Amino acid sequence: MMRSVKGLCGAAGLLAAMSLGFAVSAQAQAERSNCAECNRPASKVNTSYKYKTVQRVKNVTQYKDVNRTSYQKHVNRIVNVTRIQPVTRVNVVTRVHNRMVVLHQTQHVAQTATLPTRTVTTGKTVQINHPTEHRNCNCN
């Protein structure tokens, strides 16, 4: 399949080049006649074509999606539980027997009491002699 497509592409390219070659040669003859009218030397054009076939590679990735379904059971179980709790009624009677027992013991107790602060005031007089100041002049 690919060889036939390559062959068709090559043949189409060859035909296009040949038609282009004929168009160029007709144009060159028209230019020679123009040059003959204006008395300029006509330039000769030699055209050669070289062909090279280039294969264009196109990488295509095709994806085929397949769905595979697996079913998984999720069970929601609801359990109703009835709980029975037996009740035992107990009547507790507390009997208090009051008996008096005398215990002899000696206790030594020490207490510390804080009295208000007593203030003692003393005083004395101290004589301080400063040098004489002269307020009207700047000397000491």
pLDDT band, very low/low/confident/very high, at 5 (cuts 50, 70, 90)? low
140: which 2 tokens? 């000491």
Residue 68 included in any domain: no
**Each residue of 24-67: pLDDT tens digit?**
455 555 555 555 566 666 678 888 889 888 888 898 888 888 88
Say what the pLDDT of residue 3 is: 56
Q: Compute the distance between CA of residue 69 and CA of residue 87 in angstroms, rounded to an integer.
A: 56
Q: Look up the domain containing 18 and give its range.
A: 1-47
Residue 36 included in any domain: yes
Residue 3 included in any domain: yes
The structural domain count of the chain equals: 1
Residue 26 included in any domain: yes
Residue 43 included in any domain: yes
Task: Between 127 and 21, name the one with better pLDDT.
Answer: 127
Residue 89 included in any domain: no
Q: Compute the distance between CA of residue 90 and CA of residue 125 in angstroms, rounded to an integer.
A: 91
Say what the pLDDT of residue 77 is: 94
**Each residue of 79-127: pLDDT tens digit?**
999 999 999 999 999 999 988 988 888 888 888 889 888 888 888 888 8
Nearest to 17 by CA among 48, 55, 56: 48
Prediction pTM value: 0.18
